Structure 1
Amino acid sequence: MASKANVTFNVLLLSVAIIVGNVIRLKVIPINNEVKRYLGYHEDSYLNFTEISAKYGYISEEHTVTTEDGYMLTIFRMRKRSCRQFKRPPVILMHGLLQSADVWLDAGPNAGLAYLIADECHDLWVGNQRGNYYGRRHARLDPDRDPKFWKFCVDEIGHYDIPATIDYVLKNTGEKKLNYVGFSQGAGTFLIMCSERPGYCDKANILIGLAPAARQTHTRSVPFRALTEGISKLEGVLFSTGFHELFYKGAIEQEFFSFLCKFRATSEALCNAIIAAIDAFHPGSVGNETLRVLYGHFPAGTSTHNMARYGQSMQSRKFQKFDYGKERNLEIYGAEQPASYNLTAVTVPVVVLYGRNDRLVDTRDVFWLVKRLPNVLEASEVADPLWNHLDGTYSQFNKRLIFPQLNQYLLQYSEV
């Protein structure tokens, strides 16, 4: 655990870095794809979801989901060309914090979970959540001009985005239920939906949670803890000075890492070290080609408010709603303290896969969650003692260590 002096220093450093980065970003024009092609970027790092999937022989369709509160989310339906018939019901695959649908393609056709699921002829729908570059539209609000657009966190994502995506997929497939695979925030927001939206858990046959993020009391990542706790302390200042959106695609930090990691010589040493610093060291897990691709899509952006919510979760032993302070809590919740999410409402059968070396969603918090869910089919540690958080999306070993178990449960709840 970092000392109080170190935490204070990290908060100050964070505030300076965010302010300087955002000031500089105003003068930076994101590098366009033609220039990236000329400079030798890996092609997959700058293509979009439909372009990447088509490159490898898959067909994907773009769909727009509009939530009850007006956010417009681009989601993708993906299939392998050789599949003449889909398995039923459909499968939703949902990303984590600061990611997008592209994360499921970054590891390539032999390891990316979107490819592997599509290879089994599942009717795959790959989702996006508000705030990333596929979820940066609104029916009434302009994300570049209206701060209100950015006043959301996982509470709203779980209440609006996940139900809207589920309803859209079921309506367009004519099915009554679907299977749901969520990574980290993508699983945590499903839990929030079950607590807050009665009946929606009944629309899923199964939830497969890859390192599901509920409470994060024991998060061991010092950089992530310092970052989110710092943003939590400074949220009011940041928001009032115009910093509503953080770590988005095209920001100076994303462009810098994307450029740095395009070189084979630096990608394996430096860019893998960045992942190790945020999460945990797992040599050989994330391949060099994946490292050259993933920084073109990561970080994908979110709200300052959402990052502050994660900072709060580090300080709590509960899985609860955003804490606005006693006075504001009374206005919003009718109580001085935010309510905890009702995990007994998660009646859907749940499978949890987690890694022992995960420094973002600690095993102690996974066990805490599993004990409170009423219908856990299996909670299984990945058979690699070095398996960390980000391995769940980027590891070249996914086909061997994650997918067989995941597909076993999808097949159990599927039919042709």
Structure 2
Amino acid sequence: MAFKANLTLNVLFISFALILTNVIRLRLLPFNDDAKRSLGYPSDSLLNFTELATEYGYRSEEHTVVTEDGYMLTIFRIVKQNCQGVMNGPPVVLMHGLLQSSDAWLDAGPDAGLAYLLADACFDLWVGNQRGNYYARRHVRYDPDADADFWNFSVDEIGLYDVPATIDYVLNHTHSEKLNFIGYSQGSGTFFIMCSERPGYCDKVNVLIGLAPAARQTYTKSVIYRIACITIAGMEGMLRAVGFEEIFSKGQLSQELLGFICQMKALAEPLCGTGEQLFDSFHPGSISNRTLRVMFGHFPAGTSVRNMARYGQSMLTDKFQKFDFGAEKNSLIYGEERPPQYNMNRVTVPVVIMYGLNDHLVDPKDIDWLVENLPNVLSVKRVADPLWNHFDVTYSRYTGKMLFPAVHRYLLKFSS
């Protein structure tokens, strides 16, 4: 017990150190890929989405979505070579969670990565990216390295602009009337925001499959995640006032340091695996040593300080509401002193919810609240493994057994 307590304190200390180094924007001089290979980095950790797909026999297309407010999002279409001409329709959009990118769906490898499994089942799969990560760090006017306005966003703007723009692009490109949507964590939460704020967009989707969907996060158990987000929420105004806008981006000290430590076979599981589980919850053996070594080449993928603050705010209320700027600014922006709540009754699309009992980021109590407040819940499925947690959705070696069969079944139900 004393060892576990000491380990927890050490991980907490390291986590705050990583937050600090991100905030003051310390950057390592990055090794080039050749140097990383010579140091033993797994090759998959150095590849981008297209390169990973190609390596394992899939064809990938790269597309650029431009949102109404000017953000340029790279999204990918991935196809299994032997499925061409016999695709299951309509198209499927797969959306990542907080601090992730499209690469998260490939990091577990072709036997477990959900993007690979869906492509193997011959779905017309489109894998999205949301503003602020390294695939969505462009704008028609703003330079993310020079213009603070680029980082003036949270999940509120992602739901208002990024998700509808992605849906419209896929529908227009494929000449489809509707699509199916799979959202993990933030990927589902931003979908709910879209439905609340953009009338008619729910009608463009046949079904939402919400994997550990994150709306409100009142009961989040993760001590590290909770302290980090609430601390950033309390410091957000000060941090932004002195010019600190971006956090946990690829190439910053936290990501480079994690990538360096976790590529070592001897350290990946005992150190990085334990740290990841302390951040979420313990599920021994679920994420393989190989996946741990690969994922930290792509994670964390970056976001805004404001977005992290928004999550901190969500842990201090029992409501699913917009960003709280304080009474005075709220009055100017919203016309009332308190931030408005999102209208969940507008999420009229059929919703399938899948969650884990051992999820310490999106707590089952918040899932219960979500189920009670959504008007058209088709199914609620608790993953059979009692230790299934939040990160298992993208990184577990057991995804093909624990998650994919139900996802596949509901996609087929809403496919032609």
1:290 and 2:291 equivalent?
yes
CA contact (8 A) 1:356 1:387 kept: yes
Q: Counterpart of 2:35?
A: 35
Q: CA deviation at 1:29?
A: 2.0
Q: Corresponding residue for 1:343?
A: 344
Partner deviation per Cα, 1:340-386 (whole Å, 9 max, x = no partner): 00000000000000000000000000010011111111011000110
Tell me the amino acid that sits aligned with residue 54 of structure 1: T
Determine the structure 2 residue equivalent to 1:334. 335
2:408 equivalent in structure 1: 407
Q: What's the TM-score once normalised by structure 1's chain length?
A: 0.95
The reply on whether 1:118 has 2:119 as its aligned counterpart is yes
Match of 1:6 in 2: none
**Residue 44 of structure 1 aligns to which amino acid in structure 2?**
D
In structure 2, runs of 5+ residues without a counterpart are 1-10
1:97 and 1:293 mapped to 2: Cα distance? 18
CA contact (8 A) 1:11 1:226 kept: no
Quote the Cα distance in structure 1 between the aligned partners of 2:383 and 2:26.
40
Going from structure 1 to structure 2, the CA distance change for 1:353 and 1:11 (only over 3 Å counts) comes to closer
2:390 maps to which residue?
Answer: 389
In the TM superposition, what is the alpha-carbon distance from 1:106 to its structure 2 partner? 0.5
| Paired residues of 1:320 and 1:339 also in contact (CA < 8 A) | yes
Taking the TM superposition and a 5 Å limit, the aligned residue runs for 1:49-60 are 49-60=49-60
TM-score, L = length of structure 2: 0.95
Change (3 A) 1:312 1:12: farther
Task: Map 1:217-256 to 2 at 5 A.
Answer: 217-256=218-257
Q: Deviations over 1:144-181 (max 9, x none)?
A: 00000001000000000000000000000000100000
Q: What SS does the corresponding residue of 1:324 show, helix, strand or coil?
A: coil
Secondary structure at 1:352 match in 2: strand
1:1-400 → structure 2 map (5 Å cutoff): 18-23=19-24, 25-26=26-27, 28-84=28-84, 85-400=86-401
Kindly state the Cα deviation for residue 20 of structure 1 after the two structures are TM-superposed. 4.0
**Using the alignment, how far apart are the partners of 1:228 and 1:405 within structure 2?**
32
Secondary structure, in 3 states, of the residue corresponding to 2:83?
A: coil
CA spacing shift, 1:403–1:265, aligned 2, 3 Å: same
Deviation by residue 1:179-203 (Cα, 9 ceiling, x = unmatched): 0000000000000000000000000
Kindly indicate whether the alpha-carbon contact (under 8 Å) linking 2:18 and 2:254 is maintained by their aligned counterparts in 1. no
CA distance in structure 2 between the aligned counterparts of 1:63 and 1:276, rounded to whole angstroms: 34
Aligned 8 A contact 1:158 1:192 in 2: yes
Residue 238 (structure 1) shift: 1.0
Distance 1:11 1:342, change over 3 A: farther
Structure 1: tracts of 5 or more residues without a match: 1-9
Question: Could you say what secondary structure the match of 1:25 adopts?
Answer: coil
Q: 1:373 to 1:22 in 2, by over 3 A?
A: closer
Q: Is residue 128–residue 166 contact of structure 2 (8 Å, CA) maintained in 1?
A: yes
1:232-277 residue CA offsets vs partner (Å, 9 max, x unmatched) = 0000111122210000000111101101111111101111011111
* Other structure's SS at 2:75 match: strand
Conserved? CA contact 1:219–1:314, under 8 Å? yes
Which whole-Å CA distance do the structure 2 matches of 1:178 and 1:24 have between them?
Answer: 40
| Aligned-pair CA distance for 1:40 | 1.3
TM-aligned CA deviation for residue 19 of structure 1: 4.1
Find the aligned partners of 1:272 and 1:388 in 2 and give their Cα distance. 13
Q: Does the 8 Å CA contact 1:131/1:303 hold for their aligned counterparts? A: yes
Distance, in Å, in 2 between the alignment partners of 1:11 and 1:283 is 20
What SS does the corresponding residue of 2:386 show, helix, strand or coil?
coil
Asked if the contact 2:21–2:254 (Cα under 8 Å) also holds between the matched residues in 1, the reply is no
8 A Cα contact 2:15 2:224, kept in partner: no
Compute the displacement of 1:18 (Å). Answer: 3.7
**Matched residue type, 1:126:** V
Q: Which amino acid aligns with 1:116?
A: L
Q: What is the alpha-carbon distance in structure 2 between the residues aligned to residue 385 and residue 100 of structure 1?
A: 27
Deviation beyond 6 Å, 4+ runs, structure 1: 10-16
Deviation, structure 1 residue 81: 0.6
- Secondary structure of the corresponding residue to residue 182 of structure 2: strand
- The equivalent residue for 1:5 is none
Inter-partner Cα distance in structure 1 for 2:184 and 2:98? 9
**What is the aligned-residue RMSD (CA, Å)?**
1.5
